[in-house]
Structure 1
Amino acid sequence: MRIGSKNTSGWKATISVAMSNYIEAGSIIAIATSLTLWQERFGVDDFAVGLLAAISANAFGAAVGAAIGGPLCDRYGRKFIYTYDLLLYMLGVLLAAFAVSYGMLLVAFVITGIAVGAGVPASWTYIAEEAPPEQRAKHVGSAQLAWSMGPVIGFLLAVVLTGPLGLLGSRLIFLHLFVVAFVVWYIRQGLSESAKWTSSRDSADAGRTRGLRELFSNRLNVKALLFLFGIYGFWGVVAGQMGIFMPRVYETSGVESAAGQNLLQVLMWSFTVLATYFGFMRLGDRISRRLLYTVGAVLGVVAWVLLVFVHASLPVLMLFAVCWGVSAGIGSQAFYAVWTSELFATPYRASAQGLLFFAARVSIGLLSYYFPTMLADQGVPAVGLVMIGLLVLSLVIGALWAPNTQGRSLEDIEVERYGEVLSERATDGTRETPVVRA
């Protein structure tokens, strides 16, 4: 089975790759909705719960996977990652589904996290490289859309299954992820390699390894790394805690019913889906990206201001969910996926993605150790002020330094930034001659 045409550009390839984001986000939600049940089953304390969250697909596990997968993706190809990462993922969720001890669950979460981390840079890079320049946000946004559908379905399954079945329901959610992962893995076997990566590999100097050393040797790359961590790293610390611990935040705010907590999450993520499609995918290639990013970032700050400074009634919590949902749909993660692909050259594009994802997930993991205890001891206002501070930093950095890359080919952006297309250098013996496009 083979998907698409010779270079597999188009929506079939995009959707088949984007679906990996569904199961990756789904694993985070499966963990989030089952933590309390695992805690009761194995009799562990809040710190042990924080450790589960910290080493999972939401944090350190994904960080390690991204640090490994990004460079491998640049060295051996985008398709190389797709051949193996979901096999590892399937092993992880299967172990979680049948976990009989805290240690077994810990191992399952680590394995799942590594697989998720390896797959994310590959998927965002592949989609951006294959997308038409004038529709790059639309195509990359499909990955964000799939990512957002993971929590919508995950939290709905939690309402339907964990309510009547308890921990067995959570095990069934992990099994559903195994089935979806297998189907996606099978479909992706027909995927062709990224044409841009193939061109880079086949260039005259392809034998020279370009990894993290060359990435850091250029001042422009270092600036781009700092900018992208500024918008995604700070935002990601907030989103990461919400992805795992938001049901506990709702509980601390007075929503004691697990079904009520999960339905608030369904509301939030449903608006993320809507905002991703009608906002980022429909407008990200047409209107000012700086404006769109700023609107999303402001809504994120407004959401947490409501949670911290307004009495947490049900209408306020619903307004919080709507504001954050829209913010996430047109906010940092979607723009990060586009800008990371645009601001780095093909030979180390996935390595840059992996490095940034690693840094962001480590940051999430560090706070995840202490977040449950902090929330229990000091309440929502204390953790909320930290969240607001991080979101304001992300807002300011993105609003001030958003790049002007909209509607342009990746090669044209490379020429503007580096003075040449690095992946298409030619050689005449020992001297390299840059291929420069007018």
Structure 2
Amino acid sequence: MAMPIASSPLGTTDTSGQPLMDEAPLMSIHIIAALACLGGAALDGYILGIVGPALAIAKHELVLTAMSQGLIAASALIGVFIGGLIFGNLADRYGRRPVFSWNLAAFTILSVCQFFVQDIWQLVAIRLLLGLAIGVEYAVGSSVLAEFSRRKNRGALLGGFTIAWQIGFTAAFVIGAFYEGHNWRMLLGSSVIPAAITYVLRLFLPETPMWLKAKGRDAEARAIVDRHFGPEYAIPGVDVSSKGTSPRELFKRDTWRQTLYSGLFWFCQVGPFFAIFTFMVPVLEMLGLHGDHRVDLSLNAIQIAGVIFGVLMIHWMSRRGFVVWTFVAVLVIFLVLGLFPHAPTWFVVGMFAAYMFIGPAINNIQFVYPPEIFDTHLRATGIGFSAAFSRISAAGVTYLLPYLLQAFGFSATLIMMAGFPILGLIATLLWAPETKGKQLR
């Protein structure tokens, strides 16, 4: 049966009758937080998306094999694994703002470094370090936005991470498709532009009042609320005086299932997604679709539509119901494509387009569920663990996909990937909590 998660009452005021800050109307601080956080998500999508077109150009110069292409593509995902584990906990210990700001400086520097890559291992090292910075975005970005969000529209706002990520990813795909030069370093290094813009935005974002209150720094928290929300608003109840920020807190008797589930549903969603979308070019070639920019643009338009659809479904549906429904949809698509490899072309294209729609829609929940599952004192640590756990499948399948496609073909590879939605569906039916409308604490 599903494991319930205790949540605080859905009150709109504190004990003194003051309205809570997450019940405030839309204010400038909400817009600043959204731009600063979602800008990082768009940057992440761009960095992970631009590597595919760049490798298509670089493979001759660097003499890339299928396995080395997989290693380069997976290196950033390996970095996310490490970054999520380390920097999420640092953000819980020392503050969201310092960790959240300085990683954009790292993004900018590492983007510039890509202009000077000379061999495979230099590129792997830089992409690995970029992954560390992306891990910060997953762990800390969603924590920051959740703690500045309005409760009523929190799901749709956090789902905006996926819209921003998809915009960045699609921009990379479109730029790569229309780029007619041979300087693959220019493609990779182009991420310096969104990195610098996002860094400037984050200079205007204060520390979150909920984190300050969790650390007993009530005066500082009160000053931020007074300045950005108004003295009439109170901070939601955060009582962590007897709790620490050690990752061990995630695996206590009353928390290990929610922690494991938060990572496992993400693990099952992103493994096939990153592999297929990173190597979109060879996948489209196997389907006989590559080379027509109209097809490329149509597929990207489908992805954007899927993301927007996903945000609407997050707003309308329960969290648990959304995950169940999407796992079933992906399972059906993978099995149909895998079991009927000789189906009419229009049918195969239609089913693949369905995944191009559903895949991005699914990603919305990855930025909504974990911030609602974990409490403030461990929110970034828990999200960091979940992101890191998910990258085991993302990096592994991305690394192996070129080999699997070469050795077994597209249909057999999809049948293998059907194991991910099966595992995710079982875990969801057994353990998934319901957190929609939960008062963060």
Superposed CA RMSD in Å reads 2.6
User: What pairs with 1:118-133 in structure 2 (closer than 5 Å)?
Assistant: 118-133=136-151
Asked if 1:248 corresponds to 2:252, the answer is no
For 2:92 and 2:299, how far apart are their aligned partners in 1?
35
Q: 2:357 aligns with which of 326, 339, 356?
A: 326
> Are the counterparts in 2 of residues 271 and 329 from structure 1 also a CA contact under 8 Å?
no
Question: Equivalent residue for 2:111?
Answer: 93
Question: Which letter maps to 1:153?
Answer: A
> Are the counterparts in 1 of residues 214 and 241 from structure 2 also a CA contact under 8 Å?
yes
Question: Equivalent residue for 2:68?
Answer: 48
Distance 1:207 1:387, change over 3 A: same
Question: Equivalent residue for 2:53?
Answer: 33
Deviations 1:175-213 (A, max 9, x none): 332111101101111001112111111269769742202
For 1:263 and 1:6, how far apart are their aligned partners in 2?
39
Question: Which letter maps to 2:280?
Answer: M
Q: 2:206 aligns with which of 183, 192, 203?
A: 192
For 1:172 and 1:248, how far apart are their aligned partners in 2?
22
For 2:209 and 2:400, how far apart are their aligned partners in 1?
44
Deviations 1:90-114 (A, max 9, x none): 2222222332222321222112111
Deviations 1:245-283 (A, max 9, x none): 23222223334x4x44x7656444433322332x33334
Question: Equivalent residue for 1:377?
Answer: 407
Question: Equivalent residue for 2:422?
Answer: 392
Distance 1:385 1:10, change over 3 A: same
Q: Give TM-score scaled by structure 2 length.
A: 0.82
> Are the counterparts in 2 of residues 7 and 193 from structure 1 also a CA contact under 8 Å?
no
Question: Equivalent residue for 1:273?
Answer: 304
Question: Equivalent residue for 2:171?
Answer: 153
Question: Equivalent residue for 1:21?
Answer: 41
Question: Equivalent residue for 2:161?
Answer: 143
How many residues are treated as equivalent by the alignment? 396
Deviations 1:333-380 (A, max 9, x none): 322321211111111111111112112112322333332112111111
User: What pairs with 1:348-427 in structure 2 (closer than 5 Å)?
Assistant: 348-399=378-429, 401-411=431-441
For 1:361 and 1:153, how far apart are their aligned partners in 2?
23
For 2:187 and 2:369, how far apart are their aligned partners in 1?
33
For 1:318 and 1:195, how far apart are their aligned partners in 2?
49
> Are the counterparts in 1 of residues 159 and 364 from structure 2 also a CA contact under 8 Å?
yes
For 1:390 and 1:88, how far apart are their aligned partners in 2?
33
CA deviation after TM superposition for structure 1 residue 314, in Å: 5.2
For 1:154 and 1:211, how far apart are their aligned partners in 2?
37
5+ unaligned residues in a row in structure 1: which ranges?
412-438
> Are the counterparts in 2 of residues 221 and 344 from structure 1 also a CA contact under 8 Å?
no
> Are the counterparts in 2 of residues 20 and 119 from structure 1 also a CA contact under 8 Å?
yes
Asked if 1:305 corresponds to 2:325, the answer is no
Q: Which moved more, 1:191-200 or 1:218-227?
A: 218-227
Asked if 1:239 corresponds to 2:273, the answer is yes
Question: Equivalent residue for 1:226?
Answer: 260
For 1:264 and 1:290, how far apart are their aligned partners in 2?
34
Q: Give TM-score scaled by structure 1 length.
A: 0.83
> Are the counterparts in 2 of residues 62 and 113 from structure 1 also a CA contact under 8 Å?
yes
Question: Which letter maps to 2:318?
Answer: S
Question: Which letter maps to 1:180?
Answer: P
Q: 1:173 aligns with which of 183, 187, 193?
A: 187
> Are the counterparts in 1 of residues 331 and 422 from structure 2 also a CA contact under 8 Å?
yes
User: What pairs with 1:43-122 in structure 2 (closer than 5 Å)?
Assistant: 43-56=63-76, 59-122=77-140
For 2:343 and 2:171, how far apart are their aligned partners in 1?
26
For 2:129 and 2:353, how far apart are their aligned partners in 1?
33
Distance 1:75 1:270, change over 3 A: farther
Q: Which moved more, 1:336-345 or 1:295-304?
A: 295-304
